A and B are shown apart, each in its own frame.
Chain A
Amino acid sequence: QVQLVQSGPEVKKPGASVKVSCKASGYTFTVHFIHWVRQAPGQGLEWVGWINPNTGGTNYAQKFQGRVTVTRDTSISTAYMELRRLSSDDGALYYCARANYNFAPFLDYWGQGALVTVSS
């Protein structure tokens, strides 16, 4: 069965960086894009970006351009999202999700989320 298992909670100081991992299993990792979506406490869903695990190509939301990097390691079917220069506004649950396609992508499997807390 398809599973996305994310790394554990992180506590970071303002200005620091965080790197969250997402290990995929149950399918061929390089076939499906991985998207990252975050959710601040009590708020809605916000798209961060995606990676094509086959080519390593990426696309980021304009809001995060220059501050986020998504990478992958195909040998261990794992995607990573690194967010730099953290502020308190970045405190959120970060989800990875697998994209499937029907002329346009939709997210059919989600990780459990990784909580990032930013506090001095």
Chain B
Amino acid sequence: EIVLTQSPGTLSLSPGERATLSCRASQSVSSSSLAWYQQKPGQAPRLLIYGASNRATGIPDRFSGSGSGTDFTLTVSRLEPEDFAVYYCQHYAGSLTFGPGTKVDIK
């Protein structure tokens, strides 16, 4: 079973700063199977990125995804106030697996 690890656990940044979130898989995975979600308190998760680098419908271009093999990255180029949230990576290989999440909070 593939295990996803996300780092850091918490990222404290100011609006306007760049956020770089990491998702590492325990073994090499297909980029097609890697997605990222954003979750705000009291809300359901929202799809941001699928196939490692494709933005979902309506997602601003300040969000970008990259990576391959075991290492994937979600980048928010300039944090807006509404971007402070928890971010999860997800992989599928017969079953769905989520990473433990990275919380981006206001410094």
Please determine whether chains A and B interact with each other in the same assembly: yes
Q: Write the residues of chain A forming the contact surface with B, with a CB cutoff of 8 angstroms.
A: 35, 37, 44-47, 50, 59, 61-62, 95, 97, 100, 102-108, 110-113
A contact residues around B93 at 8 Å (CB)? 104
Measured CA separation A112–B33 after assembly (Å): 24
Q: How close is A26's CB to chain B, nearest CB, in angstroms?
A: 13
Q: Is B30 an interface residue (CB 8 A)?
A: yes
Q: Would A102 and B50 count as touching, CB distance under 8 A?
A: yes
Q: Would B45 and A45 count as touching, CB distance under 8 A?
A: yes
Measured CA separation A103–B88 after assembly (Å): 20
Option from A44, A61, A110, A112 in Cβ contact (under 8 Å) with B100: A44
Q: Give residues 56-92 of B contacting A (CB, 8 Å).
A: 56-57, 88, 90, 92
Q: Would B96 and A102 count as touching, CB distance under 8 A?
A: no
B contact residues around A35 at 8 Å (CB)? 96
Q: Is the interface of A mostly helix, strand, loop or mixed?
A: strand
Q: Would A106 and B98 count as touching, CB distance under 8 A?
A: no
Option from B32, B33, B47 in Cβ contact (under 8 Å) with A107: B47
Whose C-beta in chain A lies nearest to the C-beta of B6?
Answer: A44
A106-B47 CB under 8 A given contacts A44-B88, A59-B95, A61-B95: yes
Q: How close is A39's CB to chain B, nearest CB, in angstroms?
A: 9
Give 19 A-B pairs besides A108-B50, A110-B46 with Cβ atoms closer than 8 angstroms: A35-B96, A37-B45, A37-B98, A44-B101, A45-B45, A46-B98, A50-B96, A59-B94, A97-B44, A102-B51, A104-B30, A104-B32, A104-B33, A104-B92, A105-B92, A106-B47, A107-B35, A107-B37, A112-B44
